[in-house]
Amino acid sequence: MAFCYQQPLPPAPPVGATPPRLVASAFGVVPLPMDFNIALEGPFNLIAAVYLDVGLYLLLFGAEQPDTNYHVLINDGGLHIAAAEKAAGYIMIAAKDAMETPVDPSSFNVEVYRL
């Protein structure tokens, strides 16, 4: 008789709770400031990224969000990268170092969740 391990199921969310829903993402966002292009790897509902200035990027949604009630999660590799501005059609991302000086990271990942 063979033993088969089954991973336990995660607990069910509390009654009435709605978990956040992923509505957009891009992994390996690579700024290329020399030619003002940004490479998007594995984009989901992010159709373009624009390099605006040192540490400042504009990411455009493919399908607009109904409002700005969404949360932007950024994996930044140690820098301070955050959503500087949110709108239904775009997110403006700002990257800064520990001294709050704008910097261009080598790459970052972005996930957008509806609340």
User: Which has the closest alpha carbon to 74: 29, 33, 18?
Assistant: 29
38 touches 50 (CB < 8 A): yes
Burial 7-19 (b: 16+ CB within 10 A, else e): eeeeeeeeeeeee
User: Which has the closest alpha carbon to 93: 58, 69, 62, 45?
Assistant: 58
pLDDT for residue 5: 44
Q: Does the predicted TM-score (pTM) go above 0.75? A: no
Q: Kindly report the CA angle at 23 between 17 and 29, in degrees rounded to 5?
A: 135
Give me the residue label for tokens 């990027």. Answer: 57
pLDDT for residue 3: 47
Q: Which tens digits make up the pLDDT trace of 34-78?
A: 555 565 656 678 887 888 888 888 888 888 888 998 888 888 767
